[in-house]
Amino acid sequence: MEHEIDIAPGVRLWAEERGDPDAAALLLVMGANASGLAWPDSLVDALARHHRVVRYDHRDTGRSSWSFDDEPYALTDLAADAVGVLDALGVERAHVVGMSVGGMLTQLLLLDHPDRTATATFIGTTPMSGGPTDPPFDLDPDVLAMWATMNEPRDREAELDWRVEHWRLLNGGRLPFDPGEFRRMEERIMAHAGRHDSPNAHARAGQEGFDRGAELAAVTTPALVIDSPADPLAGTASARHLASLLGNARLVTVPGLGHALPEAVVPQLAEVILGHTAPDTAGTSASA
């Protein structure tokens, strides 16, 4: 079932839910500049066998309003959007799974809306700054070089080529990369959005408000940090540091995982997420 949610004046979000509407809700929060359709359908369907799964397009992605050029905002405002999606769908409390920047937004939800989060799962997530002994995290120079061209105008085919190459770099080099798989995904996202230009507003949005890492020690919500050892942006060091900051977290490694979600990793990802959200484990305490 699809929804259009008026989240703020002039801002409408696209959302979709799958699964039993009476099952425990699970909210998927995608990363920066990425449509909710970047969550593989096979993963959504696997999770929906046990949950009422909600995924959505951030503002300035997919079928949601592209509003940044008229009304600039900070990245932290996207956390309020996630709460607004829950409110609009009548979800009081949800398991939350955040990917990349979506995981940083999930950290904000744990701090500011702990009553709305049953569990939290982090994939490819950099910890917020401000925690004890923050280590340096080096981003892959090839990815940084590609990001420098993100805002350049491209026709549809050139934009598709750019996005597929971007996913190839993010995949990390340990798991096989199928360019056709990611090209099909991006073709679907373009059709869904009705446009092919680069969704880059989040790269231009304000970055303030992510300096609250020291507060994560007080979090009691059960958290699962998935270590993506081949991740060129948020690899093992990031995962271990995030797990150490959270007050109630455990760390699980998915071998070969990078900063992309190829079909090859979906079965194991679904298994570890569902293991975390299961009623007999979601309320238990664990340590990193």
Active site residues: 100, 231, 259
Q: How far apart are CA 23 and CA 27, in angstroms?
A: 12
Show the tokens assigned to 160.
């598709």
Positive or negative torsion for Cα 45, 28, 259, 216: negative
Which stretches of 155-265 are DSSP H helices?
156-171, 179-193, 201-204, 236-245
Cβ neighbours of residue 269 under 8 Å, at least 6 residues apart?
43, 123, 226, 254, 257, 261
Sheet containing strand 25-29, edge to edge, reads 2-8, 11-18, 52-56, 25-29, 94-99, 117-123, 223-227, 249-253
Pairing of strands 94-99, 223-227: unpaired
110: its two tokens? 């744990």
Q: What b/e readout covers 51-71, taking b as 16+ CB neighbours within 10 angstroms?
A: bbbbbbbbbbbbbbbbbbeee
CA distances from 22 to 5, 19, 28, 142, 226 (A): 20, 9, 17, 45, 27
Strand partners, 195: none
Task: Confirm if 12 and 3 have CB atoms less than 8 A apart.
Answer: no
For residue 74, what are the contacts with CB-CB under 8 A and spacing of at least 6?
A: 205, 206, 207, 208, 209
